[in-house]
């Protein structure tokens, strides 16, 4: 490099100096501070609260959910992980708690009065009472749902079917229709207090909320019964007005989106909850059958009898 | 009753189903779903209410089998019709009209409602349908070794519908009368 080159570079640097001096560095303007919610799944309550505190987030409502897995762990939280929220935002934690199932005593073959006592002493409520024709044992409980020895939540109401005498119309289909008068036992005496069919909410000391599913199996069975009672399977009856009380509206729940697919013989039930979008699907599988015909049978007029 | 699209639903009318028996049988089947799997679905009562309603609605889907399809499946097996598969004896372009005598066809079907939780099949609500069809009359149209149509047919069906071993309905239908022809698409091939 010659002296001339050194001189040219020095001149150029000196010429740029005033421009550099005019540049001012401004601190970045804070528009809004936000914090990303951490993943708290499988954390204990203490660990989750500490993690939230470190990020200047608040521990919100704590909801206990019966789960088959280990108790005391966060199973889900709201807002979910990765959500940007302002500091101080409360995060609702859902913690697992052990399933507590109780065996239902069998009251089949007991009188209705005795069945009531047995169920009450076992901590169960009597739900709806209906009747079934059985002339041999009128007044005796012939069916119960949940079944005897089923393991269900103690909050479940037990529906009972009591045998009744067969009316003339039932005994002889050709006989004139007789409006059956229900026996005193068959009248629904207990209005269904179904705040807890499968799920219940009991506030315990302040904001802590206990959300206890009463067991899907028992709840499902009871709901099937409830469903039948609500008239979803109902058929028009020619035997006079029902002795039952008017149907209660179904319990409020999360938004439901029913997607029947008649063409494929399937129906998908989606709760609208993204976390459980796979949900439960009921699929009707049709069987075209195995028809059989006696090969020695005469089936055409052309054959000799 | 005249209906060219008679299915098994017509044999087992919904309004005749024994509801408490259906509830109990379905409940028994639901009980076999593992508790862990059910809990996995985090279901709520409103959800099960909806699911149950759909399960009941699906019973009709299970019975969506045309009665004529059941009959033709039986006929094609019968030795009497095997001769029509012989192309030399019954060459293409020749139509055979076979008058049917009164006869019986029995059939057993085992449809089910599959309960899928989290994409995995976790249980079934099994059903069983048994039929005894009395075909009283009709003409079978056979062409090119295929059963093409059933015309002017009359039949009566007695059947049993069960769920999880519990009989929901035993019923004898009224007589079905098909005044119009029932066409079996391109024809049901008769096995040689």
pLDDT, tens only, A73-83: 888 898 988 88
What are the structure tokens assigned to A140, written together? Answer: 């005796």
Compute the distance between CA of residue A142 and CA of residue A73 in angstroms, rounded to an integer: 43
Angle between helix A216-229 and B45-62 (nearest 10): 70
Compute the distance between CA of residue B30 and CA of residue B114 in angstroms, rounded to an integer: 10
Q: Would you give the distance in Å from CA A33 to the centre of its chain?
A: 37
Predicted confidence at residue B181, as pLDDT, reads 85
What are the structure tokens assigned to A150, written together? Answer: 């089923």
Which of B19, B33, B114 has its CB closest to that of A217? B33
Is this prediction's ipTM beyond 0.90? Answer: no
The residue with tokens 């934690």 is: A93
Q: Which residues of A touch B170 (CB under 8 A)?
A: none
Among the listed residues A255, A251, A225, the one whose alpha carbon sits nearest the alpha carbon of residue A152: A225
- Give the minimum alpha-carbon distance from A289 to chain B in angstroms, rounded to a whole number: 4
The residue with tokens 């959300």 is: A211
Helix (H, G, I), strand (E, B) or coil at A123: coil
- For residue B40, give every residue at least 6 positions away whose Cβ sits within 8 Å of its Cβ, in sequence order, or none: B117, B118
pLDDT > 70? residue A44: yes
Predicted confidence at residue B51, as pLDDT, reads 58
- Give the minimum alpha-carbon distance from A84 to chain B in angstroms, rounded to a whole number: 26
What are the structure tokens assigned to B18, written together? Answer: 């024994």
Residue A213 and residue B39: Cβ atoms within 8 Å?
yes
The residue with tokens 């989750």 is: A48
CB A144 within 8 A of CB A158: yes
Q: Tell me the range of A98-107, A181-190, B125-134, B171-180 where mean pLDDT is highest.
A: B125-134
What are the structure tokens assigned to A280, written together? Answer: 């439960």
Among the listed residues B187, B88, B93, the one whose alpha carbon sits nearest the alpha carbon of residue B140: B187
Q: Is the dihedral of CA A272, A278, A279, A283 positive or negative?
A: positive
Compute the distance between CA of residue A170 and CA of residue A183 in angstroms, rounded to an integer: 15
Tell me the pLDDT band of A19, cut-offs 50, 70 and 90.
Answer: very low
CB A288 within 8 A of CB B65: yes
């Amino acid at each position: 490099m010659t002296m001339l080159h050194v001189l040219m570079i020095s001149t150029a640097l000196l010429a740029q100096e005033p421009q550099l001096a005019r540049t001012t560095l401004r601190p970045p303007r804070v528009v809004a501070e936000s914090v990303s919610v951490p993943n708290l799944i499988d954390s204990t309550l203490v660990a989750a609260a500490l993690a939230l505190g470190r990020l200047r987030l608040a521990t919100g409502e704590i909801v206990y959910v019966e789960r088959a897995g280990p108790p005391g762990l966060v199973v889900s939280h709201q807002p979910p992980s990765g959500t940007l929220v302002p500091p101080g935002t409360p995060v609702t934690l859902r913690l697992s708690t052990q399933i507590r199932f109780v065996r239902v005593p069998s009251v089949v073959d007991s009188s209705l009065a005795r069945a009531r006592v047995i169920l009450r002493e076992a901590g169960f409520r009597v739900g709806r009472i209906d009747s079934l024709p059985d002339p041999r044992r009128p007044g005796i409980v012939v069916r119960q749902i949940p079944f005897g020895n089923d393991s269900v939540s103690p909050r479940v109401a037990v529906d009972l079917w009591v045998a009744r005498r067969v009316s003339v119309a039932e005994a002889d289909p050709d006989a004139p229709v007789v409006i059956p008068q229900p026996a005193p036992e068959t009248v629904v005496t207990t209005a269904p207090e179904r705040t807890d069919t499968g799920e219940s909410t009991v506030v315990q000391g302040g904001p802590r909320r206990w959300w206890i599913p009463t067991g899907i199996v028992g709840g499902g069975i009871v709901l099937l019964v409830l469903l039948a009672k609500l008239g979803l399977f109902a058929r028009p009856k020619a035997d006079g007005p029902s002795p039952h009380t008017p149907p209660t509206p179904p319990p409020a729940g999360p938004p439901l989106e029913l997607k029947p697919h008649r063409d494929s013989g399937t129906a998908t039930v989606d709760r609208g909850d993204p976390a459980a979008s796979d949900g439960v699907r009921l699929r009707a599988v049709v069987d075209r059958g195995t028809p059989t015909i006696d090969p020695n049978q005469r089936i055409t007029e052309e054959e000799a009898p | 009753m005249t209906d060219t699209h008679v299915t098994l639903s017509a044999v087992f009318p919904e309004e005749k189903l024994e509801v408490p028996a259906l509830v109990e049988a379905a409940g028994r089947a639901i009980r076999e779903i593992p508790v862990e799997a059910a809990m996995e679905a985090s279901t709520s009562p409103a959800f099960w209410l909806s699911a149950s309603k759909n399960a009941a609605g699906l019973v009709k889907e299970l019975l969506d089998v045309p009665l004529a399809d059941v009959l033709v499946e039986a006929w094609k097996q019968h030795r009497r019709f095997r001769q029509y598969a012989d192309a030399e004896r019954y060459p293409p372009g020749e139509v055979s009209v076979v008058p049917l005598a009164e006869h019986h066809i029995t059939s057993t079907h085992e449809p089910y409602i599959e309960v899928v939780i989290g994409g995995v099949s976790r249980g079934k609500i099994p059903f069983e349908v048994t039929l005894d069809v009395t075909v009283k009359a009709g003409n079978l149209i056979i062409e090119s070794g295929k059963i093409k149509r059933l015309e002017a047919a009359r039949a009566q069906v007695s059947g049993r519908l069960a769920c999880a071993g519990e009989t929901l309905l035993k019923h004898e239908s009224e007589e079905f009368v098909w005044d119009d022809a029932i066409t079996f698409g391109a024809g049901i091939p008769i096995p040689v």
